[in-house]
């Protein structure tokens, strides 16, 4: 009976860990973590600098920009492999490049969802964008904290990591306020 209880507790722990992994930007690998952070920063930059007249236009601009960034990054990796290895990448390598790095696109789903939900509630586009940028900033702070935790930093060092990462979002909010 105790064995079943331990197994159930371990299963619950894995589910909680799985849910936490879906919410945070720090992924399973260095590459996925970097791509997630970069994706949130790029999407925030698009939202901050856009003069789109509607939420739909802004969401399309964010999505297209992130897909272009993902494509360019994947292409650059394939070209670099060819240059440094002196031959064409194998199809396996091409396939690997085309199936990884999607965190650059998917990590911005929550800020975009905030934007869309607020607009559907009738909130002014400018205000909805500010709240989406606040969401991006919070995600970046959480990513900085998580990176510090995984890097076994002390509490104050984690706080500094969270603040440094979150500053990218703060700059985007200030950019939006200054530009508009």
The per-residue DSSP string of 127-180 comes to: HHHHHHHHHHHHHHHHHHHHHHHHTT--HHHHHHHHHHHHHHHHHHHHHHHHH-
Domain residues of the chain, as ranges? 51-106, 108-180
pLDDT (tens digit, 9 = 90+) per residue, 72-108?
999 988 888 888 777 787 888 888 888 888 999 999 9
Separation CA 106–CA 110 (nearest Å): 9
pTM of the model: 0.80
Separation CA 41–CA 156 (nearest Å): 24
125 Cβ neighbours under 8 A, 6+ residues apart: 52, 53, 54, 55, 58, 119
* CA separation, residue 20 to residues 47, 115, 164 (Å): 26, 22, 22
| In the chain, % of residues over pLDDT 90 | 57
122 Cβ neighbours under 8 A, 6+ residues apart: none
Per-residue pLDDT, 18: 42
Mean pLDDT of 48-63: 95
Give the gyration radius of the chain's Cα atoms.
19
Residue indicated by tokens 């494509």: 71
Strands (E), the chain: none
Separation CA 23–CA 116 (nearest Å): 18
Per-residue pLDDT, 174: 93
């Amino acid at each position: 009976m105790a064995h079943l209880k331990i197994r159930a507790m371990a299963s619950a722990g894995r589910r909680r860990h799985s849910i936490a992994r879906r919410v945070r930007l720090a992924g399973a690998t260095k590459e996925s973590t970097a791509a997630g952070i970069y994706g949130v920063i790029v999407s925030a930059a698009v939202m901050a600098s856009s003069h789109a007249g509607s939420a739909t236009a802004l969401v399309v601009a964010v999505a297209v920009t992130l897909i272009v960034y993902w494509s360019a990054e994947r292409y650059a990796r394939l070209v670099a492999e060819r240059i440094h290895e002196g031959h064409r990448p194998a199809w396996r390598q091409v396939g690997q490049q085309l199936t990884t790095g999607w965190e650059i696109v998917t990590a911005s789903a929550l800020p975009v969802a905030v934007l869309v939900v607020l607009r559907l509630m009738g909130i002014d586009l400018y205000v909805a964008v500010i709240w989406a940028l606040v969401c991006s900033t919070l995600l970046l702070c959480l990513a900085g904290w998580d990176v510090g935790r995984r890097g076994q930093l002390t509490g104050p060092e984690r706080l500094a990591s969270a603040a440094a990462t979150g500053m990218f979002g703060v700059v985007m909010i200030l950019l939006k306020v200054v530009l508009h």
